[in-house]
């Protein structure tokens, strides 16, 4: 969806996103407090991303939970476009997904869309997206997934197992649809035009409901999925949509690997974290200490505060104190930055250690684990599941 | 290309084809007598299809022969869209191709485009095109290919080995191009829009020139190939274009598996052959025997004569006698039909026997032969061969 003030597509986000407007324009449902409570109750644990409204919209989450209450399993599907190193905005999704996996005991599929990123012409070569897929897989594995219940795959490697189903999906989607949904034009290359079919396929991997935790910009794919899934004999995908973690530089757009100043990478050192947050983090503080003490800061535009609120400060009381002290002028913007620096540094230290350990377990996720080896033995689209509707 | 009088696309032929016009419109070269002579000399044998002008147009055949003279090999690539049983019009291509293989001692790749035929919405299910691919492979293997130098593959099975290269091809071709070349529209499904990339890939299988024997309607694919091959570090494909064997029912259009009265299937019994030729073959004879004796027949529109001329009567002197006797009225149209019936029946008997024997050798072509097993061990598109042109 595009607007004069902001634009959100699966490949670009610019301007200050009006999230409520996206719910209306995409036709999704707001994640109500009531549904959030039910969700936490069934999970047996609260999750920050739900409590703090990072996940704020959904499709059919209520039906997924109803299935679950009735003893029916669902499965999780999420993905990553491997065009470069991952940053903090990317990994949040995966930590939530691994939490969902643990709490609900379900299979999880992670698609690395090396074909998409090459076809998007985001990377000069396919070899580069292949290489990033391998690198990114380590970060994803580090997010705490169950190696026997998680399958991490790269499109160009797994395509032999899914092409038949992709072709069945593709036959249901014409160019006018992808033009309307994704804004494709005559300039769009034919591989990129086909690609949405490849992204739809994993939502059909199991004969149960698929729940897709993703940033809201990916929703157009699920709209296409939901239009065609039932005619192929499958279920409509459910989705749980997150807001974007704002770029360091301010609340407009999203963190971008191509604009390094906007992001903290998962590989950043403590020194880099400190330097980036001090230098680039947009502050809601005042121009001088004196003024700040007198008038107070604005946490709603203060990126360090927003990061703490969305991901890094799990303690509600502590967060509230940060908020109130900032508003009152008691807490300076430099002090807010220091709080974030400490949190980010600690998080990255843990993540980087898990990433190193993931080198040993990666093969379980991609090839040898219980789910991965079962997936390599499967070919999707072999049976005539589709309901012929002429 | 379409015209008010006739239309030729890779998926539809209608009207009486103006072959000279197609050369101009497609921008191909006429196969001159001189080039034909050089071709036969290098082959060490004449071939009816060249001598009689069935193969009448080309792209870069002169360069292929020049390479060959200089001791450089080329390779052959042809294919089949498996949407139904094969008829005589389909198999001619493969007999010529196997002859080319023998005479020049080159590798041959045969693509069975089960994805294409499903995406074209020609078949209700992918399972049906899969099944026809297996059936058609037997007819193709029966055409006399070398089991160690021929690889017959089905797109949905081999895609894992070629998807990467297909994606590289696809990135070079935008929707405007396939709209212009193939007449695709907003109604075209995104799988069919992508498919031309899959058909281009086998023309890049070897690091030498590819020669594609095919009916002229397939040329648009090679136009796309020739526009992009060099930017990917490969060679432009060469092609050898045939006319269509006319439908039994008359010279307009081409034989169609969906109009059984137009075709003789490779599985037809002698009784069916007799019945079809007597009942459906368009005759250039006169309304009555008396009139025919007096005014003579017209071999140029007489389908039995045209089939004899294009494929079934190898002896020039005998063909000339048939022609002249028909024109003079000495030979009746029923007699012409009998000559064809005898030839077709004998050809089909031999073909059907070879087809049965091919059941034992098929695995060599598809999996275990020297070329086939080497092909299954390869993944195309793994290296950065493309020349980056921004």
Over the stretch A296-354, which tens digit does the pLDDT of each residue have? Answer: 999 999 999 999 999 999 999 999 999 999 999 999 999 999 999 999 999 999 999 99
Contacts of B163 in chain A (CB under 8 A): 115, 156, 159-160, 163
User: Do A170 and B164 count as a contact with CB atoms less than 8 A apart?
Assistant: no
- Are residues B298 and B223 located together in one domain of the fold? no
User: Do A189 and B171 count as a contact with CB atoms less than 8 A apart?
Assistant: yes
What string of DSSP letters covers A122-164? Answer: -SS-HHHHHHHHHHHHHHHHTTT--TTTEEEEEHHHHHHHHHH
Smallest CA–CA distance, residue A268 to chain B, in Å, is: 29
pLDDT at residue A4, rounded to an integer: 62
CA distances from A84 to A260, B115, B132, B267 (A): 11, 32, 43, 56
User: Do B189 and A168 count as a contact with CB atoms less than 8 A apart?
Assistant: no
**Domain final residue, candidates B248, B279, B294:** B248
Q: What is the CATH number of the domain that holds A84?
A: 3.40.50.620
DSSP 8-state assignment for residue A311: I
DSSP 8-state assignment for residue A112: E
User: Contact, B43 vs B37, CB < 8 A?
Assistant: no
Token pair recorded at residue A348: 């990255």
Residue-wise over B232-250: b if at least 16 C-beta within 10 A, else e?
bebbbbbbbbbbbbbbbbb
- Are residues A295 and A207 located together in one domain of the fold? no
Residue in A closest to B167 by C-alpha: A191
Residues contacting A296, CB < 8 A, separation 6+: A286, A326, A327, A328, A329
Is A5 a member of any domain? no
- Tell which wins on pLDDT, B385 or A51: A51
Q: Does A200 touch chain B (CB under 8 A)?
A: no
Is B164 a member of any domain? yes
Smallest CA–CA distance, residue B201 to chain A, in Å, is: 13
Q: Does B377 touch chain A (CB under 8 A)?
A: no
Q: CA A331 to CA A111: how far, in whole Å?
A: 43
pLDDT at residue A354, rounded to an integer: 98
Which A residues 113-132 touch B at CB under 8 Å?
115, 118-119, 121, 124-127
- Are residues B327 and B224 located together in one domain of the fold? no
State chain A's mean pLDDT as an integer.
94
* A197 HSE (CA, 13 A, CB side): 30
E strands, B41-86, are 55-59, 74-80
Contacts of A172 in chain B (CB under 8 A): 189
DSSP 8-state assignment for residue B348: H
Is B291 a member of any domain? yes
Distant-in-sequence contacts of B271-276, Cβ < 8 A, 24+ apart: B273/B341, B273/B344, B273/B345, B273/B348, B274/B341, B274/B345, B276/B248
**Domain final residue, candidates A217, A243, A269:** A243
Token pair recorded at residue B105: 């001692």
- Are residues A290 and A336 located together in one domain of the fold? yes
Please give the helix or strand (H or E) that residue B222 lies within, else none: helix B219-228
pLDDT at residue A390, rounded to an integer: 34
pLDDT at residue B389, rounded to an integer: 41
Is B380 a member of any domain? no
Q: Which domain holds residue B135?
A: 6-248
- Are residues A217 and A275 located together in one domain of the fold? no
Q: Walk across the sheet containing B209-215 and list its strands.
A: B29-30, B55-59, B238-242, B209-215, B74-80, B108-112, B150-154
pLDDT at residue A259, rounded to an integer: 80
Select the residue from A162, A194, A385 to test the B interface by mutation, using most B Cβ atoms within 10 A.
A194
Q: CA A97 to CA A47: how far, in whole Å?
A: 11
pLDDT score of A271 more than 90: yes
- Are residues A105 and A138 located together in one domain of the fold? yes
- Are residues B89 and B39 located together in one domain of the fold? yes
Q: Tens of pLDDT along A249-259? A: 998 878 877 78
Q: What is the CATH number of the domain that holds B337?
A: 1.10.240.10
Per-run averaged pLDDT (10 residues), chain B, 390 residues: 74 89 94 96 95 96 97 96 94 95 98 97 90 97 98 98 98 97 97 98 97 96 97 96 93 78 94 96 94 96 97 96 98 97 98 97 98 97 58
User: Contact, B197 vs B162, CB < 8 A?
Assistant: no
Q: Tens of pLDDT along A147-180? A: 999 999 999 999 999 999 999 999 999 999 999 9
Q: Does B160 touch chain A (CB under 8 A)?
A: yes
- Are residues A201 and A102 located together in one domain of the fold? yes
Q: Does B191 touch chain A (CB under 8 A)?
A: yes
- Sequence length of chain A is 390
CA angle A209, A32, A225 (to 5 degrees): 30
CA distances from B389 to A245, B36, B172, B228 (A): 36, 38, 11, 11
- Are residues B110 and B212 located together in one domain of the fold? yes
**Domain final residue, candidates B226, B248, B270:** B248
Is A152 a member of any domain? yes
Is A359 a member of any domain? no
Smallest CA–CA distance, residue A39 to chain B, in Å, is: 37
CA distances from B313 to B31, B149, B296 (A): 22, 29, 21
A87 closest CA partner among A278, A275, A196, A245: A245
Is A46 a member of any domain? yes
User: Contact, A109 vs A75, CB < 8 A?
Assistant: yes
Is B81 a member of any domain? yes
Please give the helix or strand (H or E) that residue A212 lies within, else none: strand A209-215
Q: Does B179 touch chain A (CB under 8 A)?
A: yes
Among A4-18, A226-240, A365-379, the range scoring the smallest mean pLDDT is: A4-18
Q: What percent of chain A has pLDDT over 70?
A: 97
pLDDT at residue B388, rounded to an integer: 44
- Are residues B180 and B48 located together in one domain of the fold? yes
Q: Does B189 touch chain A (CB under 8 A)?
A: yes
pLDDT at residue B4, rounded to an integer: 62
- Are residues A66 and A142 located together in one domain of the fold? yes
- Are residues A175 and A310 located together in one domain of the fold? no
Q: Does A178 touch chain B (CB under 8 A)?
A: yes
pTM score, whole prediction: 0.95
Q: CA B56 to CA B36: how far, in whole Å?
A: 9
A170: nearest CB among B178, B191, B381: B191
A315 closest CA partner among A25, A48, A61: A48
Work out whether the CA dihedral B250, B254, B259, B265 comes out positive or negative: positive
**How many folded domains does chain B comprise?**
2
């Amino acid at each position: 969806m595009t607007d004069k003030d902001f634009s959100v597509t699966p490949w670009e986000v610019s301007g200050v996103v009006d999230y409520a407007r996206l719910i209306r324009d995409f036709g999704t449902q707001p994640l109500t407090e009531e549904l959030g409570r039910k969700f936490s109750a069934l999970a047996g644990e609260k999750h920050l991303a739900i409590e703090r409204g990072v996940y704020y919209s959904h499709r059919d989450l209520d039906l997924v939970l109803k299935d679950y209450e009735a003893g029916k399993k669902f499965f999780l599907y999420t993905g990553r476009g491997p065009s470069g190193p991952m940053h903090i905005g990317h990994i949040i999704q995966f930590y939530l997904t691994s939490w969902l996996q643990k709490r609900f005991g379900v299979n999880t599929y992670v698609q690395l869309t090396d074909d998409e990123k090459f076809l998007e012409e985001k990377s000069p070569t396919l070899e580069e997206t292949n290489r990033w897929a391998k690198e990114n897989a380590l970060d994803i594995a580090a997010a705490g997934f169950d190696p026997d219940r998680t399958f991490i795959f790269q499109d160009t490697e797994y395509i032999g197992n899914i092409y038949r189903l992709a072709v069945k999906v593709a036959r249901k989607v014409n160019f006018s649809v992808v033009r309307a949904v994704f804004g494709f034009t005559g300039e769009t290359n034919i591989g990129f035009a086909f690609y949405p079919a490849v992204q739809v396929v994993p939502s059909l991997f199991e004969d149960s409901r698929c729940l897709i935790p993703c940033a809201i910009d990916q929703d157009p794919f699920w709209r296409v999925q939901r239009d065609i899934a039932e005619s192929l004999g499958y279920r409509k995908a459910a989705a749980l949509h997150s807001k974007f973690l704002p770029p360091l530089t301010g609340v407009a757009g999203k963190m971008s690997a191509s604009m390094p100043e906007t992001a903290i990478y998962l590989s950043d050192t403590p020194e880099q974290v400190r330097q980036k947050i001090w230098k680039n983090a947009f502050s809601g503080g005042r121009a001088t200490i004196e003024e700040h003490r007198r008038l107070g800061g604005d946490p709603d535009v203060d990126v360090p505060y927003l990061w703490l609120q969305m991901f890094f400060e799990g303690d509600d009381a502590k967060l509230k104190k940060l908020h109130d002290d900032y508003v009152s002028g008691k807490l300076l913007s430099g002090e807010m930055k220091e709080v974030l620096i400490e949190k980010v540094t600690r998080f990255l230290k843990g993540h980087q250690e898990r990433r190193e350990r993931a080198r040993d377990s990666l093969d379980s996720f991609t090839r040898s684990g219980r789910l991965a080896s079962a997936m390599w033995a499967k070919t999707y689209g072999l049976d005539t599941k589709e309901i012929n509707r002429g």
